[in-house]
Amino acid sequence: MAVTAFLTTCLRGAGQVMFQNNPVTGALILAAVLWGAFASGRPAVGAGAVVGLVVGTGAAYLLGVDVRTLRQGMYGFSPLLTGAALPTFLGNRPSTWILLVLGAAVTTVVTLAIGNVFTTWNVPALTFPFVLTTWILTLAAYQFAVIAGSLPAPALPAALGPDAARFGADAGALVTAVLKGVSQVFLIGNWVSGLLILVALAVNSRWAAGIAAAAAVVGTLVAIGFGADATAIGEGLWGYSAVLTAVALGCVFFRPSVRVLLYALLGTVFTVLVQAALDTVVAPYGVPTFTAAFVFATWLFLLPKRDLVPTPHHEPVPDGVLTSKGAT
């Protein structure tokens, strides 16, 4: 593949994190990620995203995957996230970069594997290859003296309780939280990055930009309404999964309509609950949930099919090995 074609493929891969097959969108998103990484004093996170994107796309090329989907960036978006996540949680040290290159390549293998499984039901793998690979690498860190990091401390889940500090009704703080919610899709908590990502979306699809912004508001407000941890709300951690679910359901896999938007709204609110449930599930393991809430909620809302007839309760299925001798 020529260098230009490879670069375009990588940029489209950056855009595909938000389902946009557009190199300009991808370039703006990369700029937003790099801005957020530098602004927070963690340039390794931005560098990791770029390395992950390039290694994952290159691994797909070496594995000889379908060229058309390769060029759409379908093998770049998950490794990009793997590459952003590892320096964030394992620190900027040599072992992190070994794991990052290995992990980005494995993310591509996992993309092929999960894609093969879910294509059975005409549903995409979404960012699950990133989530699965990065869960494995961060969980593995606990067993190795050479790998360490800034992972959350393992703890049994504790109910937040009615006395927990609540998010204040400050309009400015709310706007910041919402925009950070958009940027947290890329593990970046920076409202400028969030704004730039919305612009990147608008370049390719105004529906996508509008739905993303609305979903960040919905996710944040639902979290405020249920009384989630105020710090996490302020960091945009209740927005990013909602953003991804809403864009996926609202204008990528279904065509926008009133029915579809209501369905996407239900899915978006449900994503907030899945996010909370996953926070509880990972608590004893001291690893983040990444974009798992989006993945699981979106799968559940994409899997229903028109005129689906469930396997019935009222008549026997072919009765298996038990009567095979009696057959004929």
What residues between 55 and 84 interact with a copy of itself by CB under 8 A? 63-66, 68-69, 72, 74
38 binds a copy of itself (CB under 8 A): no
- Residue recorded with tokens 């709204």: 265
Using DSSP's 3-state secondary structure scheme, residue 57 falls into helix
Q: Would you count residue 163 as binding a copy of itself (CB under 8 A)?
A: yes
Contacting residues for 128 by C-beta, under 8 A, at least 6 apart? 78, 114, 292, 295
Task: Find all residues with CB under 8 Å of 20, minimum gap 6, and list them.
Answer: 26, 200, 201, 204, 205, 208
Report in angstroms how near the CB of residue 192 gets to a copy of itself at its nearest: 26
Question: Between the CA of residue 294 and those of 99, 214, 281, 284, what are the distances in Å?
Answer: 25, 16, 15, 21
Contact map string, positions 165 to 204, toward a copy of itself, x by CB under 8 A: -x--------------------------------------
94 binds a copy of itself, rule: CB under 8 A: no
231: contact with a copy of itself by CB under 8 A: no
The DSSP secondary-structure symbol of 92 reads S
Of 26-34, 79-87, 213-221, 308-316, which part binds a copy of itself (CB under 8 A)? Answer: 308-316
Q: Does 255 bind a copy of itself (CB under 8 A)?
A: yes
The one among 121, 170, 206, 231 contacting a copy of itself by CB under 8 A? 121
Based on the shown chain and the rule CB under 8 A, indicate whether residue 155 belongs to the binding site for a copy of itself.
yes
Q: Which stretch binds a copy of itself (CB under 8 A): 33-41, 119-127, 187-195, 212-220?
A: 119-127
CA–CA gap between residue 266 and residue 285 (Å, rounded): 30
Cβ-Cβ contacts under 8 Å for 293 (sequence gap 6 or more): 241, 245, 271, 272, 274, 275, 278
